[in-house]
Amino acid sequence: MSDSRSSQRAGTGVWLGTPSQILEWQKGVNAPRAADGPSAMDWFVRLEALSVDRSKGTNRAPVTVARLASSIGRSRNILDEGAVFTAYQVMRSGLGDGATPLTDVRPQARLYQQARMATFLPYRQGFCEVLDAVPFTAEAAVHGYMRVLLEWARRWPGLTVSVARERASAEALRDPAMRRGRSRIRFAQTTRLSLPLVVEQDIRALVHAAELEASEVASTQVRPIGDEAAVLALLDQITVAASRIVEDETLTSLTATNIARLEVNDALGGALLRVRMRPRDGWMIESSAVEEIRRWLMHPRDGAVAEGRASLALAQLEAEFASLGFVRRVLAKEDDDD
Amino acid sequence: MTDPDGCSPEMHDAEARLREELHLAPYRAQLTMLRLAAGVRTERVTVRDHLEDVLDALHDLDEKIADDTLRGRLSSRGRLVLRNDLQIYLSGKRGMKRPYDLRHREALKRLEVAESALSTDDPELWRLRIREAEARAALPDQRKDGIADIRHLLEKKDYPKKWNFLLSLHAMNLAVRLRSDDDDAVAASALEILEREIGQRTERYTAKHPFTLVARANRILHQLHRLEMSHDRRALTATEVTQARALIEDAGALHADRVEALGERSGPAIRSLAHQARALRLAGEHEESRAVAATAYALRGDDPETARDDEVPAILQILMAGALSKRRQTAMANAALLCRQPAAPTVSPQQLRAAVDNEIARAQQMREEILARLASAEDVLGHQVPYRRWMARASKIRDELETGPAQ
């Protein structure tokens, strides 16, 4: 897929397209292969269930094709199953990937790669539906896409595990410097985990849309969008974030996404600009300022404070101070996150 | 698909949940995106309406997949949990206007529904129990029991020996709740939690991760709060002033990290400036404190005009903008609502009345200071166009303060 899959729509925000071949493939995945036979999705669901030993938390291990076939009650040659062979070709073709000879991809990798795509696409569909209904800037869409992706990783941890072939090719592609020192740990984390194939293209398309968006905004606040290296660093960090969420199923997608926050900032040319301040933040700042005045006046440096008459104006000020001082105390006690 | 031979009940259950998840996935993604939309200023978006639509769609989904659910092919757990998440989020958006006893009733109801629908060892029940205990701890007459239950639930999960995101989140909520406790030992235990959480979060998510920064902010707030409590009673000791000076540095570093991660105009970044202003005040740096508070105040608004006003001392901004600001009027209306609530956290109606009386007495003492400041403001700013409407208000206040109430 090319960057043209995503672009700015004048006045309505960014959108993300899905090639028709992928939609066709998705339809086929959910259809039964024969009467009473399992659909490809049945294979994928069983693959996830077998990939995680739920009695031992989130321990994950790749499942062999033979074990899966046996578990699902299909003992014949696995390559006869459309879910594994023919459908895989359709999916790769839909992704526009003609570079990899498909015969080089082992059945286990085909299964996992399709399972990741098939289970992620419904989340991606929800993402696209919101983009259609609500105007999003491309930079906000990148943040949103990552959160949605991590929602998937949290619920399908078994499918995120890299199979041997994927791990080997990831290692071959990485910068040798990554294998030394502190990078070694992160390197190991990222090679243990694989994301749906569509993710890299989607992220690249959205970052490209953010680039177009920034070029149309004449503002000193917009910094240059990161280069290819920044995008790769971002993808790498998303994988680290995904590895955290599969290790800790209580982790929210927001907190996991924030693991890649600084890389996102690098890729998008700065922190997300259009973050709305919650009204309570405004009140907190105002009441904090009032509290500052109150304390300042409570401890006058000259010690000389005259008594005076109460006027309506003073009563109004008093009420404001009292109200805002109280709001401040309530907020200070209530605000869980700060 | 027919169940293969040898499929264990655990496997069957896992698959039923996964199949349900496939139906829920688009709605889960929509909730995630809409929550982001609520915090991003794009165009005016009625996020709440869209979220209500998602709730309706979940209702339709119940009917659509009812047969498969009855046959046990699909679980119904995911829908219950997602619906809870949505309702909790929607309730949170109603925010300050909802009395604490209502929040508690809602939390209790959610727990009761889940207890009747989920198996006794379902992790969702722990999450709803601790939320209920937290809502209960916000009720003055049940604070002690609520806190005891929060502690018990954390211990039951073997916290702090075991650590995960959820335990960390609720331990932090507990520490925040204990911040204002009269007992110094209790407050010290809160600080212990905060220190531990900063260490854990740094190790797992890095030092500049927003979740770590929240822990750092809460430690600063905790220390500020304790020092301010001392300052209300007596002059700070030299050691306490040194602590306040250290907090200025901490708040400054926090602000820099939040700007880098979240942007200069993000709520958390601006709040850390307000923390720094409080630390400066405690350290006796009044002018600097007011300057930092003024910057925070100027950055807080949506109106670009307010960003230009950072040179105006905070006191003048409050006095002059206050009566004109709709947002402030809303804050006051909310405060009035809170005053009528029987169950504000840790403050009884008697304490509240006493606090308000105290504020009024102090406000009377402010009068002369305010008069002097308004006069000097008129001298400095009276001729400047951007401040003209504020000055009109300031002049009116000064006249009334000097001459008494209008008849």
More confident of the two residues B402 and B12: B12
Which structure tokens are listed for B269?
């970044």
Residue among A244, A210, A55 at smallest CA distance from A137? A210
At B78 the pLDDT is 93
Instruction: Give Cβ neighbours of residue B177 (< 8 Å, ≥ 6 apart).
Output: A333, B134, B137, B147, B150
Place of tokens 């929040």: B103
Distance of CA B59 to the CA centre of its chain: 31
**H/E element, A6:** strand A6-9
Instruction: Give Cβ neighbours of residue B295 (< 8 Å, ≥ 6 apart).
Output: B273, B310
Arithmetic mean of pLDDT, A207-231: 65
Interface A-B: count of C-beta contacts within 8 A: 361
Among the ranges given (A97-111, A219-233, B13-27, B328-342), the one the predictor scored with the smallest mean pLDDT: B328-342
| Predicted confidence (pLDDT) at residue B153 exceeds the cutoff of 80 | yes
Percent of chain B at pLDDT > 90 equals 36
Residue boundaries of the structural domains of chain A: 3-268, 279-334
At B263 the pLDDT is 82
Arithmetic mean of pLDDT, B235-261: 94
Which structure tokens are listed for B364?
């009377």
Among the ranges given (A102-116, B78-92, B356-370), the one the predictor scored with the smallest mean pLDDT: B356-370
Mean pLDDT of all residues in chain B? 76
More confident of the two residues A96 and A173: A96
Write the DSSP assignment of B247-314 as a string of letters: HHHHHHHHHHHHHHHH-TTSHHHHHHHHHHHHHHHHTT-HHHHHHHHHHHHHHT-SSHHHHTTTTS-H
Best of A293, A328, A329 to mutate (most B CBs within 10 Å, chain B): A293
More confident of the two residues B111 and B386: B111
Arithmetic mean of pLDDT, A24-49: 84
φ/ψ of A334, rounded to 5, equals -90, -30
* Residue B91 pLDDT grade (very low, low, confident, very high; cuts 50, 70, 90): confident
- At position B74, the amino acid (one-letter code) is L
Arithmetic mean of pLDDT, A189-195: 80
Structure ipTM over 0.90, yes or no: no
Chain B contacts of A140, Cβ < 8 Å?
A: 36-37, 40, 42
Compute how many other C-beta atoms are within 10 angstroms of the C-beta atom of residue A241. Answer: 26
Arithmetic mean of pLDDT, B367-379: 62
At B314 the pLDDT is 41
- Classify the phi-psi angles of B303: left when phi > 0, otherwise alpha if psi is within -120 to 50, otherwise beta: beta
At B21 the pLDDT is 96
Arithmetic mean of pLDDT, A96-123: 84
Q: Where in chain B is the domain with CATH 1.25.40.10?
A: 157-312
What is the Cα–Cα distance from A144 to A136, expressed in whole angstroms? Answer: 9
| Predicted confidence (pLDDT) at residue A302 exceeds the cutoff of 70 | no
Arithmetic mean of pLDDT, B326-340: 39
From residue A15, alpha-carbon distances to A5, A91, A129, B338 in Å are 8, 22, 9, 43
What is the Cα–Cα distance from B293 to A270, expressed in whole angstroms? Answer: 25
* Residue A174 pLDDT grade (very low, low, confident, very high; cuts 50, 70, 90): low
* Residue B289 pLDDT grade (very low, low, confident, very high; cuts 50, 70, 90): confident
DSSP percent split of chain A into helix, strand, coil, nearest 5: 65, 5, 30
What is the homologous superfamily of the domain B157-312 according to CATH?
Tetratricopeptide repeat domain (1.25.40.10)
- Beta strand residue intervals within B79-197, DSSP E: none
Residue among B285, B293, B290, B282 at smallest CA distance from B231? B282
- At position B97, the amino acid (one-letter code) is K
What is the Cα–Cα distance from B78 to B71, expressed in whole angstroms? Answer: 16
More confident of the two residues B110 and B288: B110
For residue A319, the chain B residue with the least C-alpha distance is: B360
At A102 the pLDDT is 64
**H/E element, A7:** strand A6-9
* Residue B370 pLDDT grade (very low, low, confident, very high; cuts 50, 70, 90): low
Q: Can you give the pTM of this predicted structure?
A: 0.75
At B29 the pLDDT is 97
For residue B275, the chain A residue with the least C-alpha distance is: A288
B68-77 pLDDT tens trace: 888 888 888 9
Best of B19, B20, B33, B103 to mutate (most A CBs within 10 Å, chain A): B33
What is the Cα–Cα distance from B16 to A336, expressed in whole angstroms? Answer: 35
What is the Cα–Cα distance from A166 to A174, expressed in whole angstroms? Answer: 12
Query: Is residue B382 classed as helix, strand or coil in its secondary structure?
Result: coil
Q: Of B197-206, B308-317, B386-395, where does the model show the most confidence? A: B197-206
Which structure tokens are listed for B102?
């209502």
Chain A contacts of B314, Cβ < 8 Å?
A: 289, 292-293
Chain B contacts of A258, Cβ < 8 Å?
A: 205, 209-211, 261
A55-85 pLDDT tens trace: 555 567 788 888 888 888 776 566 666 666 6
Say if residues A269 and A224 touch (Cβ distance below 8 Å).
Answer: yes
> Which DSSP state fits A15?
E
What is the Cα–Cα distance from A55 to A174, expressed in whole angstroms? Answer: 34
Best of A252, A290, A320, A324 to mutate (most B CBs within 10 Å, chain B): A320
Distance of CA B318 to the CA centre of its chain: 22
Instruction: Give Cβ neighbours of residue A185 (< 8 Å, ≥ 6 apart).
Output: none
